[in-house]
Amino acid sequence: LEQMASAFDRMNMVGSMAATVAHEIRNPMTTVRGYLQLLGRKEKYQTDKENFKLMIEELDRANNIIREYLSLSHEKFVSLKSCSLNSIIEALFPLIQADANASKVCATLNLSELPDLQLDENEIRQLLLNLVRNGIEAMPAGGNLVIRTFLDDSKAVLSVSDQGPGIPSHILDRLGTPFFTTKDTGTGLGLPICYQIAHRHKASIKIDTSDNGTTFFVYFSQTNP
């Protein structure tokens, strides 16, 4: 048991060191980005304008990876409290709507009465936002996004549906692998974070996908005391 505990401590230490390093790397990156922006505006670099843009985009991509990685490592300290999943969704909905509207996506809620669940509010917000963002990104020409909650066999379920092109089976197999992305500016960390959060809530994620759209289901297997 002692051996196991120390292995666990070491893992935690590596995790928090990595988080510290990731955090520290962002400061010099911000400086570099600022100077690139300044240089890129100079007359003598105008022929290289595209390359400056590319360098800044790549820095932004690195920064996104760090930001999402940090949220991945931070969330080890979950605090589960008895609360209403529907209330968390309703409080977040204005933000989701603004996000959706900016992409010509119409977001709607369809919530059913649920028992309270043991949840970490911040984590559930992030789980939902990650699924919503993927749904919006799957519909670049716009469409409908529906967020539902319902009871299935007395288990609470949260689902997010889009009308995107669906997920091909060769990609389905790779979902949840950190850094796997099919997007130019994707990080491939959204779903891995979702799977981690679900795991910590004793929930499982199921996917229903066809060329008419995709639904992500989060099944909470918590039972009432």
User: Which chain residues interact with ligand ADP by CB under 6 A?
Assistant: 130, 134-135, 138, 162, 164, 167, 171, 175, 180-183, 186-191, 214
CA atoms within 13 A on the CB side of 164: 24
Q: Output 126 or 163, the one with its CB closest to Mg ion.
A: 126
Per the DSSP assignment, residues forming a β-bridge with 110 are: 148
User: Least separation, in Å, of the C-beta of 158 and ligand ADP?
Assistant: 14
User: Distance between CA 208 and CA 206 in Å, rounded?
Assistant: 7
User: Least separation, in Å, of the C-beta of 83 and Mg ion?
Assistant: 25
**Residues engaged in binding Mg ion (CB under 5 A):** 134, 190
User: Least separation, in Å, of the C-beta of 220 and ligand ADP?
Assistant: 20
User: Distance between CA 157 and CA 137 in Å, rounded?
Assistant: 23
CA atoms within 13 A on the CB side of 72: 24
Q: Output 115 or 186, the one with its CB closest to ligand ADP.
A: 186
- Contact partner, 171, from ligand ADP, Mg ion, none, Cβ < 5-8 Å per class: ligand ADP
User: Least separation, in Å, of the C-beta of 140 and Mg ion?
Assistant: 14
User: Distance between CA 192 and CA 189 in Å, rounded?
Assistant: 5
